[in-house]
Amino acid sequence: MVYNFELLSDNTMPFEDSLSFAQELDAHDPLGHMRNDFHLPKKNDGTDEIYLCGNSLGLQPKLTHSYLNYELSQWQRLGVKGHFDGDFPWMPYHEFLSEETAALVGAKTTEVVCMNSLTTNLHLMMVSFYRPRGTRTKVLIEDHAFPSDHYAVESQIKFHGLDPAKHMVLLKPRKGENCLRQEDILQTIDDLADQLALIMLPGVQYYTGQVLDMKLIAHTAQSHHIPIGFDLAHAAGNVLMELHEWGVDFAVWCSYKYLNSGPGSVAGCFVHEKHHDDETLPRFTGWWGHDKTTRFKMNNQFIPIHSAEAWQLSNPPILSLAAIRASLDTFKKAGGISTLREKSKKLTGFLRFLLDNRLKEQVTVITPDEDLSGCQLSLTINTNKPGKVVFEAIEAAGVTGDWREPNVIRVAPVPLYNRFEEMVRFVNILEQSL
Ligand SMILES: *Cc1c(COP(=O)(O)O)cnc(C)c1O
C-alpha cells in the first residue's frame, strides 16, 4: 500500500494503530526533513525526548545561533555603525520581519509590527481601542482567559475609573461543558451590543485548544460597531488567519510558542489599516513610532508613521529580532503556514485517532474536532489516578507536554518538528502510565 498524504487528507485512507504505519507516514512526509532544522532536547540516554510542548515554548531552529552570532559580531566590529551597515542594519531591522509575519496572520505588511511583549502590546492596544463612552463601557472576555489577559483587561477598566465587577463581562461555557459554543458567543455579543466598548477574545483558547471562529465573531462585532481584538498567543504559527480580510481591529501574540523565537522573545502586533490614519485614536507613544524621515530631527513634534509601526515605543532588542528572523526563515523554508497546517491536521488527527482507538474510556480529549482545533489536544484522565500523577509518569518516560491546573494535560504535536512515529510512542507511554 502506498501511503499518500493526499489520500489521508481526503479521509479516503484510514489511519492504522501501529508503529510501522506511522513510520511509513514519516517516510512519505514532505515536511519530514524540517525536523533536522531544529535542536531536539535529549533524554539522559542521548535519544530525543518526545517534545509535545511547542504550544508553550517552541524548539530552537538551528538558524538561530548563526543569526544571533551575526548580530553580535556586527556589534563587535561596527559598534554604533551597526545601525546602518551590514546586510541587516539595526535601524530598520523590524522591517525585515514584516512580510513573513504578515503572511502568518493574513495581514498587509503595514499592519504588523514586532515589538515589546504580548501583555505590553495588549495594554497599548487597549489604550487605543478600549474607549468607554455612554452606555458602551464593558469589555467582553472569556471567563477562563489566560491570567495576564484577565489582569490587563481588569486594570484597563480600573484605569478608566470603572469597576471591573460591573464592566468586565465573562463568557462562560455551558454547565458541564469545557468549550465555548460559537452560537453563545455571537448571541452574547448581540444581546450586550449597546453595552460593549470592546471584545477581546483568544484565537485559540490556551486551556482547551479550541479555535474560535474569528471571522464570524469579527463580523458580528462589526455589525454592532464594537472594536474587536484577538489574543493570538496560541494561534500564531498554528492555524490559518485572515486578519485583514476579517476586519479585525487589532491582535497581539507572542513569538516563543509556535513561533520558536526563544523564551520571552519580542511579540507581534496587528493594527488594521483602517485605523492607521485615525487621528482621534488615543495612543501611548514613543520615538520609534515617529515618522522615520524626521525621527532624528528631535523637535518633539510627534508625527506617527502611517502603519502599525506608529505604536512602537522603543528601538527594539535586535538579538531577539534576529531570533524571530531565524524562525520566520525556517517557516518559509517549510513552505509557509498553509503547508504546515495541512500536515498539522494529519499529525494531530493521527494522535486523536490513536487516543480514541486505545484509550477511549480512560482519556477524554476536551479539544473540539478538527475544524475547531489546531496542533494542541487537551486531555483529561478518567481513571482513579489523578491526572497530575499520570502527567508526572509520562514526563519521567521522556515525554515533554505540560500540565495546566486544574486537570488538563496539554500535548501539541508541531508539524515543523514532530513525527507520526512519536504519536504512537507517546500513546504507548500514556497507556502504560495509566
Ligand atoms: C502565553 C500567553 C501569554 C503570555 O504573556 P507574555 O506577556 O508573553 O508573558 C499571555 N496570554 C496568553 C493567552 C498566552 O497564551
Which grid coordinates are listed for 328?
A: 520566520
Determine if ligand 1 sits within 6 Å of the CB of residue 231.
yes
Determine if ligand 1 sits within 6 Å of the CB of residue 265.
no
Pairing of strands 250-253, 228-231: parallel
Mean pLDDT of 291-305: 90
Q: According to the 3-state scheme, what is the secondary structure of 278-346? A: CCCCCCCCCHHHECCCCHHHCCCCCCECCCHHHHCCCCCCHHHHHHHHHHHHHHHHCCCHHHHHHHHHH
Closest by CA to 394, choosing from 357, 431, 365, 340, is 431
Distance in Å, CA 65 to ligand 1 centroid:
25
Which grid coordinates are listed for 222?
A: 462589526
Domain 68-333 classification at class level: alpha beta
Please, which pLDDT band fits residue 5 given cuts at 50, 70 and 90? low
Residue 212 scores a pLDDT above 90: yes
Determine if ligand 1 sits within 6 Å of the CB of residue 417.
no
pLDDT at res. 295: 86
Mean pLDDT of 33-41: 98
Phi, psi (rounded to 5 degrees) for 49: -65, 160
Residue 38 scores a pLDDT above 50: yes
Determine if ligand 1 sits within 6 Å of the CB of residue 246.
no
Could you tell me if 122 and 147 are in contact, meaning their C-beta atoms sit under 8 angstroms apart?
no
Mean pLDDT of 55-73: 98
Fold of 19-52+336-433: Aspartate Aminotransferase, domain 1 (3.90.1150)
Distance in Å, CA 149 to ligand 1 centroid:
7
pTM over 0.75: yes
Q: Give strand pairing partners of 198.
A: 139
- Ligand 1 atom with the shortest distance to the CA of 231: 13
What does the pLDDT look like over 194-210, one tens digit per residue? 999 999 999 999 999 99
Determine if ligand 1 sits within 6 Å of the CB of residue 256.
no
Count CB-CB contacts under 10 A for residue 62. 13
pLDDT at res. 3: 47
Tell me if residue 162 falls in helix, strand or coil. coil
Determine if ligand 1 sits within 6 Å of the CB of residue 38.
no
Determine if ligand 1 sits within 6 Å of the CB of residue 58.
no
Please, which pLDDT band fits residue 12 given cuts at 50, 70 and 90? low
Please, which pLDDT band fits residue 422 given cuts at 50, 70 and 90? very high
pLDDT at res. 346: 96
Distance in Å, CA 151 to ligand 1 centroid:
11
Parse the chain into domains and list their residue ranges: 19-52+336-433, 68-333
CA distance 215 to 229: 12
What does the pLDDT look like over 347-360, one tens digit per residue? 999 999 999 999 99
Could you tell me if 418 and 52 are in contact, meaning their C-beta atoms sit under 8 angstroms apart?
yes
